[in-house]
């Protein structure tokens, strides 16, 4: 298990425990914990309703695919640290990841 943190609007961070041996994405972990993440395309990198901003741990993240980068470019709320949470596989490298769920996810 690793810990992932979700930063709320008031700055409070909610701790989630995520298994690293199930091939889950961060999106799936967020949904399993009942965060408001629509993830309409189910993880295909074509809907962007799983958009998060990574506040900590950017160095450890997997490379972005062209599809993900292209999708992020279209989003009004994208920042330099935006990612599609469905494209982030939960691995030990993600220990301590801090994300903020972005408006496109709702
Ligand atoms: Fe659709 Fe991530 S769930 S892009």
Please report whether residue 105 resides in a domain: no
Q: Is the CB of 49 under 6 A from ligand 1?
A: yes
Domain that holds residue 78: 2-99
Average pLDDT over residues 20-46: 97
Q: What is the mean pLDDT of the chain?
A: 96
Atom of ligand 1 nearest to the CA of 39: 3
Please report whether residue 65 resides in a domain: yes
With a threshold of 0.85, tell me whether the complex ipTM lies above it.
Answer: yes
Please report whether residue 104 resides in a domain: no
Q: Is the CB of 102 under 6 A from ligand 1?
A: no
Q: Is the CB of 6 under 6 A from ligand 1?
A: no
- CATH classification at residue 42: 3.10.20.30
Q: Assign 26 a pLDDT band (cuts: 50, 70, 90).
A: very high
The fraction of the chain above a pLDDT of 90, given in percent, is 94
Sign (positive or negative) of CA dihedral 42, 44, 47, 51: positive
Q: Is the CB of 47 under 6 A from ligand 1?
A: yes
Please report whether residue 70 resides in a domain: yes
Atom of ligand 1 nearest to the CA of 25: 2
pTM of the model: 0.95
Does the structure show a pLDDT above 90 at 69?
yes
């Amino acid at each position: 298990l690793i810990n992932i943190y979700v930063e709320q609007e008031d700055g409070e961070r909610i701790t989630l425990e995520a298994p690293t041996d199930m091939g889950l994405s961060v999106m799936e972990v967020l949904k399993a914990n009942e965060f408001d993440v629509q993830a309409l395309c189910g993880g295909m990198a074509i809907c962007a309703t799983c958009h998060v901003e990574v506040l900590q741990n950017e160095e450890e993240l997997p490379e972005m695919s062209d599809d993900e980068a292209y999708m992020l470019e279209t989003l009004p709320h994208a920042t330099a640290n935006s990612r599609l949470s469905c494209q982030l596989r939960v691995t030990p490298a993600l220990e301590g990841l801090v994300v903020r769920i972005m408006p496109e996810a709702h």
